Structure 1
Amino acid sequence: MKWLSLAICVVAYLFCTRAVSASIRRLGRSKEVAEVRIKYLEKTSRILLFVAFVIVLCLTLGFGYGQVSLFLSSAFAVIGVALFAQWSILSNITASMVIFFGFPYRVGDEIKVTDADFDLSGTVEEISLFHVLIRTAEGNLITYPNNLILQKPVIKLDRGNTDFPQKVAPRHPE
């Protein structure tokens, strides 16, 4: 009976992995997202599915819920302490998922990140798991963290225009 349960868990894991990857690929292509970003999100989702698979596998093999939860809480405590100083890593990974699904700008768009201290305008070259690469008009490459780009207003510029967009007079019906 355990072997049948294990086989069902493995088949379900493989099915879920393929279904989630296919869904991410389909959504990414419909939103015209770069292939590299799609692969980042697929990899992250596979890791999360694998962790869930290991938990289900442990429970299926007969480990008690208390034993599994004790192991997981210990593992997460160690990981939490290890990553406490690097909290920005986790926030950047989370922000990359938000950017994947909701960021209105794509690679090749000219944008301006409104920052009072720096001129952050240029063309989006790449959006990766941790940062967005912006190429300035002078040819410099700005590496901007994903979690910060979600916190600042971003303006999509017209081609060749590096200033803020001009206000457009409202249209009145005649």
Structure 2
Amino acid sequence: MIFLNDFTRELIGTGIVLVFLISLRIISTKLVRRYAKSSHTIEHRTNLVIKYIHLLINILTVSALIIIWGVQTKDIFIALSSVTTIVGVAMVAQWSILSNITSGIILFFSFPFKIGDVIKIHDKDFPIEAEIQDIGAFHVYLRTHDGEMVIFPNNLLLQKGISIMKNHFDDKEFID
């Protein structure tokens, strides 16, 4: 009982933040799904973006709870600077992963092409003309006219010029 008397404000604040968390997650999920449905985005990509948004919301919720429960600001800054340093060193080594994830989110929302489109990537050293088989969080999977599977990183896809071609790959006859 003493705990309830001493921490009434913190418990009420925690309850409000948790209700806000649940509401924000439901609303953001519905908005992303509505956007995906209107732009005919595949379910896999939609779930990936929802996962990223939920991660951001959870981080903000933990920050709010830390503030509500009165953790000293200098303790928060010490912990954050330590974590940031470790993550920063790791991200310098893994910058391409973060770049590909960010590019995947940009491709999701800008949606310049879709699975089944034939694209031409304008690269002077390695030009590619292929059909998009799948768009993942890190890579786009392409199949050339010769049947070769090319896995192209999302961040390079945003850096290169791309033409969306009419599907001029010859339709293969179905032989039974």
- Whether these two folds match at TM > 0.5 is yes
Matched, 1:69 2:59: no
- The share of aligned pairs that are identical, in percent, is 33
| Paired residues of 1:37 and 1:128 also in contact (CA < 8 A) | yes
Matched, 1:8 2:21: no
Matched, 1:151 2:159: yes
Give the TM-score, by structure 2 length.
Answer: 0.87
Q: Which residue of 2 aligns with 1:107?
A: 115
Structure 1: runs of 5 or more not aligned: 163-174
Structure with more helix by fraction: 2
Q: Which residue of 1 aligns with 2:131?
A: 123
- TM-superposed CA distance for 1:69, in Å, is 2.6
Q: Which residue of 2 aligns with 1:167?
A: none
Q: Which residue of 1 aligns with 2:66?
A: 58
Aligned pairs, number: 162
Give me the whole-angstrom Cα distance separating, in 2, the residues matched to 1:73 and 1:93: 24
- TM-superposed CA distance for 1:161, in Å, is 5.8
- Given candidates 75, 95, 98, the residue that maps to 2:103 is 95
- Given candidates 39, 47, 52, the residue that maps to 1:39 is 47
The worse-fitting range, judged by mean Cα deviation, of 153-162 and 54-63 is 153-162
Matches within 5 A, 1:16-35: 16-35=24-43
Structure 2: runs of 5 or more not aligned: 1-8, 171-176
Matched, 1:138 2:138: no
Give the TM-score, by structure 1 length.
Answer: 0.88
Q: Which residue of 2 aligns with 1:166?
A: none
Q: Secondary structure at the match of 2:159?
A: coil
Q: Secondary structure at the match of 1:32?
A: coil
Give me the whole-angstrom Cα distance separating, in 1, the residues matched to 2:104 and 2:12: 38
The residue identity in structure 2 corresponding to 1:58 is I
Matched, 1:81 2:96: no
> 1:25-66 deviations in whole A, cap 9, x for unaligned?
111111111111101111111111111111111111111223
The worse-fitting range, judged by mean Cα deviation, of 146-155 and 78-87 is 78-87
Please tell me the root mean square deviation across aligned C-alpha atoms, in Å: 1.4
Give me the whole-angstrom Cα distance separating, in 2, the residues matched to 1:45 and 1:149: 23
Q: Secondary structure at the match of 1:18?
A: helix
